[in-house]
Structure formats: C-alpha cells, structure tokens
Chain A
Amino acid sequence: QKEVEQDPGPLSVPEGAIVSLNCTYSNSAFQYFMWYRQYSRKGPELLMYTYSSGNKEDGRFTAQVDKSSKYISLFIRDSQPSDSATYLCAPEGSGYSTLTFGKGTMLLVSP
C-alpha cells in the first residue's frame, strides 16, 4: 500500500458546488496534515494545516482529519472557477521530518 493515496481525478463540478477531496494514508505516526494547492505550471502553495484529528475551517475551505481511519478530507464550499487546480495532501510525522506528498487530485470548476 502506498504511504499516501489520492484519486487523481479529474473531478469536474459546476460553479457553486460543494467539493470533497480525499486522501488516505498508512503511517499511523503522521500527526500533522497539510493540503497544498498547485495551479498549472506553478509551484505548490500551502492551503491548510491541521494537527491531529478534527476539523479546521478557513473561509470556504474546511480540512478534516480522522486519524482512526487514516482519512483526510478537504471540503470547498461555493466552489469557484479560480479553485481549478491540483490539490495535494501531505501528512507528516513528529520530529520535523520531511513531507510525503500524495499524487494530487485535479479539480475543474466550470462557470
């Protein structure tokens, strides 16, 4: 089993839809969970950061972590065409280790 898995998509939704992006991981030592957004031909940028289980909200974005099932979600409300990008999950263990990235899910939001 891969350490971090994401459905590559593309996930196509109409503008205004609620989007759910998901990620599973196998390493129970992961404690920090990040979501990156990567626009075409650009570098990834940090979107959300969560520690341990629970939810974190930032505007239209909500990150959710369920450590018991090793499942990470990113919800986007009222999706916009500008949200069209690839979303990468990146869990991390303690001790300031290197990040392990999922392969990313491509999201396309049509006007």
Chain B
Amino acid sequence: NAGVTQTPKFQVLKTGQSMTLQCAQDMNHNSMYWYRQDPGMGLRLIYYSASEGTTDKGEVPNGYNVSRLNKREFSLRLESAAPSQTSVYFCASRGTGGYGYTFGSGTRLTVV
C-alpha cells in the first residue's frame, strides 16, 4: 500500500542509548515531517524537511537530529536517549500543493 512507512513500531531504550527512527514514503512527496505526540500535549513538530537537501527545526528539536537521506527517506536520531523522550513519534509527508499531511502509523518509544 502506498503511504508512509515507519520502523520500528515499538522500541524500549535505556537512558543514554542511541537509536534512529526510520521513515520512508512512496508518494513522491517533497516535504517530510517528524512529530511527537504526548498525552495532554498534542502533536508537536520536532524537525521538518521542506525539500530534499533541506532540514529545519520545529517546536521541540532539542535532543534530536535528522537526515533527509533522499526524497523518499527522512530519519530521526536520538543520540543519548532520556526518559523525557518517551513518546509516540509520527512521520508525515506532503506533496507540492497538497492538502494536509499523510501520516505513518507511528513508533512507540519508551526510555527507561
């Protein structure tokens, strides 16, 4: 099925460990986004990439890095995980002139 694919779906990390969340879209979309969703906080933008080769900070970028590997793939890296990064992470994409975002199914990350 066409859409946004996120891996892994679940992950448990120990404090201080690192990991990369992967996201790929097969809709030829230019823009890609990483959000985190926490109870009572809603969806908050971490980083986004308006087009291949560019990345920009969102509302809550601290503790994260991103890489727009190519047009299809946009990864999110946690260099030294902290319990405050326990969350559900969503990747989304959007085509030029497109209405709204297409979201992936999310990655549930727990940092202990």
B-binding residues in A (CB < 8 A)? 8, 32, 34, 36, 41-46, 49, 88, 90, 98-99, 101-104
Contact = CB atoms under 8 A, between A and B. Distances in A.
Contact of A42 (B45, B92, B101, B105): B105
Contact of A43 (B42, B45, B48, B106): B106
B74 interface: no
Interface of B: 4, 33, 40-43, 45, 48, 58, 90, 92, 99-106
B105 A104 contact: no
A99 B58 CA distance: 11
Given A101-B42, A103-B42, A42 B106 contact: yes
B103 A49 contact: no
A34 B43 CA distance: 14
Q: Is the interface of A mostly helix, strand, loop or mixed?
A: loop
A5 to B, nearest CB: 10
Nearest to B38: A103
Given A88-B43, A98-B48, A43 B90 contact: yes
A98 B33 contact: yes
B99 A34 contact: yes
A49 B98 CA distance: 11
Contacts of A41: 106
16 contacts: A42-B105, A42-B106, A43-B90, A43-B105, A44-B43, A44-B90, A44-B101, A46-B99, A46-B101, A46-B102, A88-B42, A98-B33, A99-B101, A101-B43, A103-B40, A104-B42
A34 B98 CA distance: 12
A49 B99 contact: yes
Nearest to A104: B42
A90 B103 contact: no
A11 to B, nearest CB: 17
A102 B41 CA distance: 9
Contacts of A102: 42
Given A46-B102, A49-B99, 15 more contacts: A34-B100, A36-B100, A41-B106, A42-B106, A43-B92, A43-B104, A43-B105, A44-B90, A45-B103, A46-B100, A88-B43, A98-B58, A101-B42, A101-B43, A103-B42
